[in-house]
Structure 1
Amino acid sequence: MEDSRELAGYQRAFLLRQAHRLKAVATVGKQGPSESVHRHVDQELDNHELIKVRFSDYKDARREIARDLSNQLQARLVAVVGHVAILYRPARDPERQKLHLPQRPRGDSP
């Protein structure tokens, strides 16, 4: 993973398009992300790179909890849309990487 944890706007848009068809792989309940949810989300990031996590509560704290979860898992928080957070972490082995982030916006020439 690059040093910069920030995604460029065009990279975020690319990941949002990819995440549109995905279903949430985990639900964070009223007690916050449990250790088992944490392990499950970590494993799903290893398997899929891009996932959705649903929040069943936390109306005002969803973004903060999603940011904390992404930091703990060394993932990037793509977006929080409604009750769903979208997380991205590229595969640790480049040969297993499924998603390749665009390096510049479409239409830009070198």
Structure 2
Amino acid sequence: MPLTNKQKQYLKGLAHTLKPVVLLGSNGLTEGVIAEIDSALGHHELIKVKVPSEDRDLKTQIIETIAVNCQAILVQKIGNIAVYYRPSEEPKIELPRN
């Protein structure tokens, strides 16, 4: 489900006050971390993930891998923080139409 620019802006505004729910550690992206992110998305729909890495290419690859494995939409990426959105079966967040 692709998001319109208006919907992305709305989600960015909601995510502004959120704290990162998942912090990647020295082990990087493991199956346990992906499971935790998947669980957090199922519960919250909109989450922040902190991906500390000095290597930009590696950080970008990790962020994209999370989106693919968790079937989430990458809303925003700023520095080491990525914001993901995945609507649940009973959505808690109501997106603007257009």
Q: How many residues align?
A: 97
Task: Note if 1:78 corresponds to 2:72.
Answer: no
Task: Note if 1:88 corresponds to 2:85.
Answer: yes
Matched ranges for 1:1-80 at <5 A: 4=1, 6-60=2-56, 61-80=58-77
- How well do the aligned residues superpose, as a CA RMSD in angstroms? 1.4
In structure 2, give the amino acid aligned to 1:67. Answer: E
Unaligned runs of 5+ in 2: none
Q: TM-score, normalised by structure 1?
A: 0.80
Q: TM-score, normalised by structure 2?
A: 0.89
Contact 1:52 1:84 in 2 (8 A): yes
Flag the structure with higher helix content: 2
Contact 1:30 1:58 in 2 (8 A): no
Distance 2:53 2:27 in 1: 9
Q: CA deviation at 1:58?
A: 4.3
Distance 2:74 2:16 in 1: 15
| 85, 91, 100: which one aligns with 2:94 | 100
Q: Tell me the SS of whatever aligns to 1:74.
A: coil
Q: Which has the larger radius of gyration?
A: 1
Distance 1:58 1:100 in 2: 36
Deviations 1:61-104 (A, max 9, x none): 3233211111111110001111100000000x22xx11011111
Distance 2:12 2:39 in 1: 21
Q: CA deviation at 1:17?
A: 0.1
- 4+ runs deviating over 4 angstroms: none
Identity of aligned residues (%): 34
